Amino acid sequence: NAGVTQTPKFRVLKTGQSMTLLCAQDMNHEYMYWYRQDPGMGLRLIHYSVGEGTTAKGEVPDGYNVSRLKKQNFLLGLESAAPSQTSVYFCASSSTGTSGFVSDTQYFGPGTRLTVL
Amino acid sequence: TQLLEQSPQFLSIQEGENLTVYCNSSSVFSSLQWYRQEPGEGPVLLVTVVTGGEVKKLKRLTFQFGDARKDSSLHITAAQPGDTGLYLCAGVANAGNMLTFGGGTRLMVKP
């Protein structure tokens, strides 16, 4: 099992360019998440999906769009990149979400380092 | 303002020393998790604590959830260079909510 994979690993964009980050998981998980990680800020949830064909906004969704057309894939799109979107992006998946008061284990990919000039 | 505040933000110690890192909030959390993240990789779950006052041990790591479920600590005994990494706490504030992460404590253990 590869677990959670992310492509690309690194990317440099110019302001205004667009791009799509791809996340794939082979664990048959229902839930998938996109986070961004900035120094001292921990991980902040951008968007998440509770199943194929469904998506929802997280804490910091502005400037991003997502799609979950297949259960194993979760795409994160930046339509018009801004320097404020320079960050490391992590995808994660879990079998279930929050069961009552406890979060299911989230499995993370290795991250994509994005720089917007 | 983050819901979960971690301290210290950075910690550099010698191999063999003991250390404690803290995760504090003004809010009550239903459960709390600790993750470790190594450079160039994603976070990996270490432990989940659910009950106020709960203590869990993972080899040289001891995790405690505060009685009021507003804080947690991670104590490492006899730290080793392999413990180097970013330690993140994350909690569920209310039923059905997503995880909220703290800012992390970056630990460096020197040989």
Give, in order, the Cα–Cα distances in Å from B44 to each of A11, B35, B56, B58, B88: 24, 5, 17, 14, 10
Q: Give dist(CA B91, CA B69) in Å, integer.
A: 10
A43/B101 touch (CB, cutoff 8 Å), yes or no: yes
Of B92, B98, B101, the CB nearest to A101: B92
pLDDT digits (tens, 9 = 90+) for B49-95: 989 999 999 999 999 999 999 999 999 999 999 999 999 999 987 66
- Average pLDDT, integer, range A30-55: 92
- Per-residue pLDDT band for A26 (boundaries 50, 70, 90) equals very high
Q: Find out whether A45 and A15 touch, Cβ atoms under 8 Å.
A: no
Average pLDDT, chain B: 92
DSSP string of A25-67? ESS--SEEEEEEEETTTEEEEEEEEEETTEEEE-SS-TT-EEE
Q: Residue A41 pLDDT more than 90? A: no
Q: What local confidence, expressed as pLDDT, does residue B2 receive?
A: 54
- Per-residue pLDDT band for A100 (boundaries 50, 70, 90) equals low
Of A44, A92, A100, the CB nearest to B95: A100
Q: What local confidence, expressed as pLDDT, does residue B98 receive?
A: 80
Chain B neighbors of A111, CB-CB under 8 A: 40-42
Of A40, A58, A111, the CB nearest to B98: A58
For residue B53, is it left (φ>0), alpha (ψ between -120 and 50) or beta?
left
Q: How many residues does chain B have?
A: 111
Q: Give dist(CA A23, CA A8) in Å, integer.
A: 9
Q: Find out whether B28 and B70 touch, Cβ atoms under 8 Å.
A: yes
The answer, for B7 touching chain A at a CB cutoff of 8 Å, is no
